[in-house]
Structure 1
Amino acid sequence: MTDTDTHAPPHSTTGPESADAPLHRRGIKSYVTRAGRMTQAQTRGLTDIWPRLGLSIADGCQDLDALFGRRAPRVVEIGFGMGTSLIEQAERHPQTDFIGIEVHAPGVGKLLDEADKRGLRNIRVYREDALAVLEQCLPADSVDTLQLFFPDPWPKTKHHKRRIVQPAFVALVRSRLAINGQFHLATDWEPYAEWMAEVLDAAPGFTNTASGDSAPYVPRPAFRPLTKFEQRGEKLGHGVWDLIYRRIG
């Protein structure tokens, strides 16, 4: 991948789309739904625990205070995978409410099973397209932190249009974050980290929280759990780039 690929201007076919590009342009998705064998625990999560902790777009726009039965800081994580990081956060921070969004059934089932086994009451889950959830289910100015950890980097130039981090998506995130709320991104693909910084730096209403020599990136925050995937990558010398932007308007 060349510098031209990763730093193309917004109007280029290889760079981020314009801010007014539709979020669901021609039905393009930022993910691929993968089939996978379900374990007994994962099946239990989807059948027995889902009625209590699962949410659907059909439920409409949520009153988050009513949903959790309290007023608390709210964290939304898009694409939580198998849920290990999100479960750890929810268990470590019982005073915070968490909403996870993931399309893959095994990951959703595993997270629900673990949440039930650990007695977690501060977590809810959507098995839906994240863009639709943000648009239809989360009220404006209602989220304190939105997390996007290790999204598919779609490294081939012809697939860059599939990357979830685009100006229109960032504008939607901004509308759901409260003032001073944070958008926390992490990736192990450096060209995608550069792309993320380019899109966020150009987005109105955000400021980068990084400072010093590491800018535009921040050192890995202690509150972001270190996953097994990331630990393996570190041993192989792979880098990870964290970016945290704060909504200022």
Structure 2
Amino acid sequence: MSEPRTFRDEPVSFVRRSGRMSEAQDRAFDELAPQYLIEVPRGDASTSVHPEARMDPTAVYGRQAPLIVEIGSGQGHAIISAASSRPGDDFLAVEVFRAGLARTMLDADKADVRNLRLIEANAPEVLASFLPVGAAAEVWIFFPDPWHKKRHTKRRLVRPGFGEGAARALADGALLRLATDWEEYALQMRAVLDADPLFERAFEGEWAERFEGRVMTAFERKGLGKGRDIRDLVYRRRPRP
């Protein structure tokens, strides 16, 4: 009897739920995906990245420019706003939920944003292998799923070991920006990155100032409306030896 196949060594930070796509969302994949969505060679799982696959940013964007990567871009509000206001930079949204990807493509097309691309894939695999070493000028992780139940915290994106993949993708001196409205997760993020020799704090005091480049989204307003404090963190990738 053969051994069962193991798709991933680590738990993923999401549970992918299939839902009915609207006509507009289906149209986004049919008509806009060739412009915005990067085709990713897969491994064993539908959101995996083949370990030998590599992205060529110059070929994808048709130029050389600073690359900003957002992990868990949701419906794309933050990254579309940033890409619209910073045409000299390139932006990459990493997301696994197809409805969010569709909405991002529709809104980006409506805003005539052309310096944005999307990847439908598990973020740690994108950071750990698909992006070229040192390709990213910044990596953003805004309001990741806090997995607040104790039995689920192992699914959190930022946990021990996360820094290695993020550091691989970031250029020397590049920034890792994070924000969450979940205090316990913020404390974990800070503890994990403070202990990581590949990163150093790029803020003073207990928490970083709110990142001015992060547009206020409905998700953030919801957290504030529930009385939660929004906590920002920013870390700098230490120079490679």
Instruction: Tell whether the structures are fold-level matches, with TM greater than 0.5.
Output: yes
1:242 aligns with 2:225: no
* More helix as a share of residues: 1
Q: Secondary structure at the match of 1:37?
A: coil
SS in 2 for 1:159: helix
1:219 matched to 2:202: no
2:92 aligns to what SS in structure 1? strand
| Stretch moving more, 173-182 or 58-67 | 58-67
Q: Among 64, 67, 73, which residue is 2:60 paired with?
A: 67
The equivalent residue for 2:160 is: 167
Deviation at 1:188, TM superposition (A): 0.6
Instruction: Give 2:116's aligned amino acid.
Output: I
Matched, 1:95 2:88: yes
Aligned to 1:47: 30
CA positional deviation for 1:25: 6.0
Q: Percent identity?
A: 38
1:195-206 alignment, distance < 5 Å: 195-206=188-199
Q: Secondary structure at the match of 1:112?
A: helix
**Contact 2:159-2:188 at 8 Å conserved across structures:** no
The structure 1 segments of at least 4 consecutive aligned residues displaced by more than 3 Å after TM superposition are 24-27
8 Å CA contact retained: 1:56, 1:128 = no
**SS of the residue 1:57 aligns to:** coil
Query: Does 2:132 correspond to 1:139?
Result: yes
Secondary structure of 1:166's aligned partner = coil
Root-mean-square deviation over aligned CA pairs: 1.6
Q: Which moved more, 1:178-187 or 1:43-52?
A: 43-52
Give the match's secondary structure for 2:161: helix
The corresponding residue for 1:58 is 41
The range that moved more, 33-42 or 188-197, is 33-42
| Count of residues paired in the alignment | 223
The one-character-per-residue Cα deviations of 1:14-66 (angstroms, maximum 9, x if unpaired) are xxxxxxxxxx8645111111233322322221111112211132193122122
CA distance in structure 2 between the aligned counterparts of 1:100 and 1:148, rounded to whole angstroms: 11
Deviations 1:139-166 (A, max 9, x none): 0011000011111111122212111112
* Structure 1 counterpart of 2:201: 208
Matches within 5 A, 1:1-40: 26-40=9-23
What is the TM-score normalised by the length of structure 2?
0.87
Query: Structure 1, unaligned stretches of length 5 or more?
Result: 1-23
The residue matched to 2:174 in structure 1 has which SS?
Answer: strand
Runs (5+) with no aligned partner, structure 2: 1-6, 43-52
The SS at the match of 1:72 is coil
